[in-house]
Structure 1
Amino acid sequence: MHVFELPSNTVYEYIFTGKFQAPSPHWIHQESPLKDYELFVVTEGTLYISYQGEAFTVETGDFLLLPPGGIRKGVRPSDCSFYWLHFVTGQNPCPKEIPDALLLAYIVTSSKTIPVPRHGSIPNLEKVVILMKQLQDEVKNNYPACGLNAMTTSILMELYGQYYIRAQRVSSIKDVQKQLYYDIVDYIKLNVSKNLKVAEIAAHFGYNQKYLSHLFASITGTPLKQFILSIKIDAANFMLTDTNKSISQISRELGFLDNHNFTRTYKSVTGLSPSKYRNTFAKRILFDK
């Protein structure tokens, strides 16, 4: 796994950003040189792109971080949507090659730099997308450069922070528990449209309800029931900011009993109604080239 060691204790400089939606299933990323760092966050479909001769398959929920100085181009049609962000750090370090098995430990123990993988799955896509959307809102509203730089830095720190938290959580648990934790998280995300119960998850994996809740509380600091709700709220935030789906449709797709139940639950967790949250990030910068 290639890892970029970004400078710590500094504010990165914003260059430009946008949200891209492929105009057709036949769209291929154009060939062009890269003068600064570029972060891709794919929200739908798959992006097929190469950089300095190396091909990348960036799927939904993945990110790709490319350094300046090379040529990037599409390698095959990509019917996808993604956010992108260009920035500079003041340094252009070469990526380090870290064995996959040592990646999380390396991230936790690094103290002088911010290690960010070049390519990988985002642990919590929704949070990164919300920050990308917030940056676009600031650009649309002509925020000063210092604010855009700060938000750009926040996006990179969120990405790094998610990997750091994951590394901390799994470093202290046994391999069997670690795999069970990942399997349950994947199961919850795959079945987020259902009215999931702890008893159902326990029965599916063949474990005691209390044991699973204790496991999640020990790893995440949150009981399994609350963890399920947090996944649903994150998914709701994503759909409210990155889609035009109605609140009723979002409610149904997240397995709530009805629209009223969804609205009440959402407000109790976030302090805002779904419509007010959506209106906060109403602006988006779209590109189709």
Structure 2
Amino acid sequence: MVAKSNLHFDLSAPVQLLWFGEFISPEKNWKHLTRRLFEYELFVVTEGVLYIADEEFEHEVRAGEYLIMPPTVNQHGSRVCRCRFYWLHFRCPALPASVSMPEQGSFSDADTVRTIAKKLMQAEAAEPRGVHSRYLASELLLELREQALAGAHEAGGANSSAERLCERIREFVFFHRFSDVKVREIARELGYHAKYLSALFHRTEGVTLKSYINAQRCAEAKRLLLESGLTVTEVAYYLNFPDPHSFARFFKTMTGITATQFREEQSVSPPKPAPEI
């Protein structure tokens, strides 16, 4: 299992917890429902395999692994599965105190993860979305982060070296997400040949570096469309597109809909998730 990208959260204060629970698939042919996801969702799989996807990636999350899905217009089950997992819906800004966390990772100390999850369930029963719950939700994220990073470090050798370089690439893309960053610029900054860097990233991450850059830029466009009062034209210039038409083509290629359609669809009040997820 290889993480597709890193996410960035400001965990200097507790996250905004929305809902938390544990789910056990009720039957052999269960598949996750299809819906819009308006916030981040964490899946912590403790039994079986969860198959879930968005408009960009299909994820296979096995027991002992977690996945964080960013907001998406098309969260859906990609295959039927039997599994058991904790789920957490939350919101958290990326800045100013950004912590980098693999979007998908593994954890070896399941007992510690379960202990935090059980404490969180008890806190939620006593005071839903209270301060105690919010701190425990943040603790769960940090524990998963530490275990995922420790596991990657223990892998050692060439894989660890490649992952560290990919982490530097992801960090560079994140902090230059408002500009039209090119592969050659990343290569020059990190001191590598562009073709070598692209091949290594593709081999390690499973996606091309150009595709990753576009996905991160699209994610930032979605965030601005949903969370700012900027017009579509202003978003285009904010992200350093040469003109609004270039941004329009880019956004529709990435999502299948226009930026205006995306904003209108997402402006609908988010429904509360079904109890099992």
Under a length normalisation based on structure 1, what TM-score does the superposition of the two structures give? 0.50
Q: What aligned pairs does 1:208-287 form with structure 2 within 5 A after superposition? A: 287=275
Mark the structure with the bigger radius of gyration.
Answer: 1
| Structure 2 SS opposite 1:49 | strand
Aligned length: 160
| Structure 2 gap segments, 5+ residues each | 161-273
| Cα distance change on mapping 1:288 and 1:23 into 2, 3 Å | farther
Distance 1:144 1:85, change over 3 A: closer
1:80 and 2:89 aligned: no
**CA gap 1:71/1:147 in 2 versus in 1, 3 angstroms:** same
1:165 Cα deviation from its structure 2 partner = 4.4
Q: Report the counterpart of residue 251 of structure 1 in structure 2.
A: none
Structure 1, unmatched stretches of 5+, are 94-110, 179-285
Aligned to 1:35: 38
Map of 2:6 onto structure 1: 3
* SS, match of residue 72 in structure 2: coil
C-alpha RMSD of matched pairs (Å): 2.8
Q: Write the distance in 1 (CA, Å) between the matches of 2:151 and 2:97.
A: 19
Tell me, what secondary structure is at the counterpart of 1:153? helix
Superposition deviation, residue 52 in structure 1: 2.0
Asked whether the equivalents of residues 7 and 103 of structure 2 are also in contact (C-alpha less than 8 Å), the reply is yes
Of 109, 112, 125, 1:127 maps to 112
CA-CA distance at 1:78 after TM superposition? 1.0
Instruction: Tell me the distance in 2 between the aligned counterparts of 1:125 and 1:29.
Output: 23
Distance change (3 Å), C-alpha of 1:123 and 1:143: same
Q: Distance in 1 between matches of 2:21 and 2:126?
A: 14
Contact 1:21–1:287 (CA under 8 A) maintained in structure 2: no
Q: Which residue of 2 aligns with 1:13?
A: 16
Return closer, same or farther for 1:137/1:8 CA change in 2, 3 Å cut-off.
closer
Contact 1:37 1:65 survives alignment (8 Å): yes
CA contact (8 A) 1:19 1:287 kept: no
Three-state SS of the structure 1 residue aligned to 2:140 is helix
Give 1:125 deviation, angstroms.
2.4
Dislocated runs of 4+, deviation >4 Å: 164-168, 286-289
Q: In structure 2, how many angstroms separate the alpha carbons of the residues matched to 1:49 and 1:144?
A: 26
Question: Match for residue 134 of structure 2?
Answer: 149
For residues 99-248 of structure 1, the aligned pairs below 5 Å read 113-142=98-127, 145-166=130-151, 170=154, 175=157
Residues 24-61 of structure 1 deviation map (CA, whole Å, 9 limit, x = unaligned) = 01001000111111000011111111112411111111
Q: Distance in 1 between matches of 2:108 and 2:115?
A: 14
